[in-house]
């Protein structure tokens, strides 16, 4: 598994921009090495370790794209219907033994090999049949309704590049190329902690001054869609010694640790200190709203010795919406690198702002918006409230409008970039 040493980041000063944080991650986090060979049925969500070079073309042979008749295009009259005589039949899965002669056609079915000599098909819906003849209308182009070998994937081309996260489409393509197994990267082990004396797990009754822990479950649910094996490491109390001990221990058998809460400036915030005590802090505080208190660091993997490599730790903010924002922009790219995955930028779409909003320059903001399509344009309306603790804002809106650092005002009608929650949250 990838290893991180303590000198692989430079401490970036006060507030780090999202872009700089991501550049650090891309430059310094070593991509996964090693391979597991898995059957195709177990490959979903894994990261391809080697380029898949097409050992066969797709389709493998020239074949009919319709149920109909195959013939030589040169036999057709360009301006009038042409009568051809049916001389045989080729179902899918059967080789066409008969070559076709002049003014002849062979009955073919979708996926059947094109009989030798033929180059074009007509759909059965488009002909008039009369005994053993068919009347083919004029106007068909040479090659119509037929699929050349390799039109989908050429023999020897790179069908899937190493680093690709395998989803249903990739798995289908690998199957079509005859691969029963694939070489994939080992999955990084990700441990998730919540922190806070006020937290009670869901299922437990709330005592006075308690609130249910939600971040751990949001984070584990987001991790379920990423290439990793996530483990739930529970809730840490607001206690410096116990936080440091728990993080140090978890660093030994995980490849990434995520915490939420306890990373602000208060004296009850112990995550940053625990990273500094046991390892090294890479940066603290991100120029993003919601999400400012976020920390990233490295803890030694084995017994305080960095030469054995390090485990990155991302200290996410406690407020649930801030935790989600920082997860998406810090933890996700870091995890994808550890997993050996190629960069997968979050999907972004253009929309038109339906709101007026002012912000400070120098930090990026993610504003929750609902989306509505109107006259061909997507209009983004701001969710009426802004609190970083408003979990229901995520279920009642459709995405984040991404307002760049330099922007200070968004006016109705302005173009905005939106990161939709679909597929992300």
150/262 with CB nearer Mg ion: 262
Strands 256-260 and 305-316: parallel
185/216 with CB nearer ligand AMP: 216
Residues 174-203 close enough to bind ligand AMP by CB under 6 A: 194, 196, 198-199
Q: Which does 243 bind (CB under 5 to 8 A by kind): Mg ion, ligand AMP, none?
A: none
292/337 with CB nearer ligand AMP: 292
Is residue 259 a contact point for ligand AMP (CB under 6 A)? no
CA atoms within 13 A on the CB side of 280: 14
DSSP string, 101-131: -TTEEEEE-TTPBPPTT--EEEEGGG-EEET
Provide, rounded to whole angstroms, the least separation between the CB of residue 302 and ligand AMP.
29
Give ∠ CA 336-263-399 in degrees, rounded to 5. Answer: 50
Q: Which does 199 bind (CB under 5 to 8 A by kind): ligand AMP, Mg ion, none?
A: ligand AMP
- How many C-beta atoms lie closer than 10 Å to residue 186's C-beta? 21
Residues 65-124 close enough to bind ligand AMP by CB under 6 A: none
74/265 with CB nearer ligand AMP: 265
- 246 vs 259, 274, 374, CA distance in Å? 11, 9, 52
76/192 with CB nearer ligand AMP: 192
Give ∠ CA 344-348-350 in degrees, rounded to 5. Answer: 160
For 310-324, b/e burial (b = at least 16 CB within 10 A) is: bbbbbbbbbbbbbbb
Q: Which of these ranges, 65-73, 113-121, 257-265, 346-354, lies near ligand AMP under the rule CB under 6 A?
A: 257-265
Which residue is it, tokens 């680093």? Answer: 163
Q: Which of these ranges, 88-96, 169-177, 258-266, 356-364, lies near ligand AMP under the rule CB under 6 A?
A: 258-266
Q: Which does 260 bind (CB under 5 to 8 A by kind): Mg ion, ligand AMP, none?
A: ligand AMP
Greatest CA separation found in the chain?
92
User: What is the number of residues in the chain?
Assistant: 425
- Figure out which of the listed residues 186, 262, 310, 354 binds ligand AMP, where binding follows CB under 6 A: 262
Name 419's bridge partners.
400
* Strands in 117-248 per DSSP E: 120-123, 128-130, 133-136, 146-147, 158-160, 181-184, 189-195, 199-200, 211-212, 229-236
- Figure out which of the listed residues 290, 297, 318, 340 binds ligand AMP, where binding follows CB under 6 A: 318
261/354 with CB nearer Mg ion: 261
Q: Which of these ranges, 134-142, 208-216, 342-350, 359-367, lies near ligand AMP under the rule CB under 6 A?
A: 208-216
Is residue 196 a contact point for Mg ion (CB under 5 A)? yes
Is residue 59 a contact point for ligand AMP (CB under 6 A)? no
Is residue 216 a contact point for ligand AMP (CB under 6 A)? yes
387/413 with CB nearer ligand AMP: 387
Give ∠ CA 250-253-257 in degrees, rounded to 5. Answer: 50
Is residue 293 a contact point for Mg ion (CB under 5 A)? no
36/268 with CB nearer ligand AMP: 268
Is residue 320 a contact point for Mg ion (CB under 5 A)? no
Provide, rounded to whole angstroms, the least separation between the CB of residue 261 and Mg ion.
4
- Report yes or no: 113 and 160 within 8 Å, Cβ to Cβ: no
Contact code string over 376-405 relative to ligand AMP, x by CB under 6 A: -------------x----------------
Is residue 278 a contact point for Mg ion (CB under 5 A)? no
- Total of chain residues touching ligand AMP, rule CB under 6 A: 19
Provide, rounded to whole angstroms, the least separation between the CB of residue 215 and Mg ion.
10
Cα-trace Rg, the chain: 29
- Report yes or no: 340 and 49 within 8 Å, Cβ to Cβ: yes
- Figure out which of the listed residues 163, 317, 354, 420 binds ligand AMP, where binding follows CB under 6 A: 317
- Helix (H) / strand (E) containing 64: strand 63-64
Phi/psi of residue 4, nearest 5 degrees: -130, 130
- Helix (H) / strand (E) containing 289: strand 288-289
3-state helix, strand, coil in the chain (%, to 5): 20, 35, 45
- Figure out which of the listed residues 68, 262, 291, 297 binds Mg ion, where binding follows CB under 5 A: 262
179/319 with CB nearer ligand AMP: 319
- Figure out which of the listed residues 170, 213, 255, 381 binds ligand AMP, where binding follows CB under 6 A: 213
- Helix (H) / strand (E) containing 251: helix 240-252
For 192-212, b/e burial (b = at least 16 CB within 10 A) is: bbbbbebbeeeeeeeeeeeee
The site for ligand AMP (CB under 6 A) is made up of: 194, 196, 198-199, 211, 213-216, 260-264, 317-320, 389
The site for Mg ion (CB under 5 A) is made up of: 196, 261-262, 318
């Amino acid at each position: 598994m990838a290893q991180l040493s303590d000198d692989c980041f430079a401490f970036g000063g006060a507030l780090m921009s999202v872009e700089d944080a991501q550049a650090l991650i891309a430059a310094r986090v070593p991509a996964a090495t090693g391979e597991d060979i898995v059957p195709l049925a177990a490959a979903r969500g894994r990261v391809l370790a080697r380029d898949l070079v097409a050992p066969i073309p797709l389709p493998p042979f020239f074949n009919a794209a319709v149920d109909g008749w195959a013939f030589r295009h040169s036999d057709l009259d360009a301006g009038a219907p042409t009568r051809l005589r049916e001389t045989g039949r080729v179902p899918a899965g059967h080789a066409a033994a008969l070559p076709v002669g002049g003014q002849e056609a062979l009955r073919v079915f979708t996926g059947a090999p094109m009989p030798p000599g033929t180059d074009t098909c007509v759909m059965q819906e488009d002909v008039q049949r009369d005994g053993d003849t068919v009347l083919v209308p004029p106007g068909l182009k040479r090659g119509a309704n037929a699929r050349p070998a390799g039109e989908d994937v050429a023999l020897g081309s790179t069908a899937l590049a190493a680093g690709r996260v395998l989803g249903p489409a990739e798995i289908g393509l690998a199957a079509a190329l005859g691969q029963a197994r694939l070489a994939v990267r080992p999955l990084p082990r990700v441990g998730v902690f919540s922190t806070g004396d006020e937290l009670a797990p869901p299922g437990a009754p709330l005592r006075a001054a308690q609130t249910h822990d939600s971040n751990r479950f949001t984070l584990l649910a987001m991790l379920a869609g990423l290439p990793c094996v996530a483990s739930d490491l529970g809730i840490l109390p607001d206690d410096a010694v116990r936080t440091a001990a728990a993080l140090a221990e978890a660093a030994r058998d995980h490849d990434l640790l995520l915490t939420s809460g306890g990373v602000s400036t208060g004296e009850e915030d112990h995550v940053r200190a625990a990273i500094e005590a046991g390892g090294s802090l890479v940066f603290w505080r991100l120029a993003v709203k919601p999400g400012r208190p976020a920390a990233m660091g490295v803890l030694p993997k084995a017994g305080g010795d960095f030469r054995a490599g390090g485990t990155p730790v991302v200290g996410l903010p406690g407020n649930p919406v801030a935790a989600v924002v920082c997860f998406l922009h810090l933890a996700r790219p870091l995890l994808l690198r550890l997993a050996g995955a190629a960069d997968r930028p979050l999907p972004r779409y253009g929309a038109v702002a339906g709101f007026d909003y002012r912000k400070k320059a120098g930090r990026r903001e993610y504003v929750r918006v609902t989306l509505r399509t109107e006259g061909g344009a997507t209009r983004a309306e701001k969710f009426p409230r802004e609190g970083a603790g408003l979990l229901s804002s995520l279920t009642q809106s459709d995405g984040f409008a991404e307002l760049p650092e330099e922007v200070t005002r968004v006016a109705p009608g302005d173009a905005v970039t939106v990161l939709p929650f679909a597929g992300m949250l």
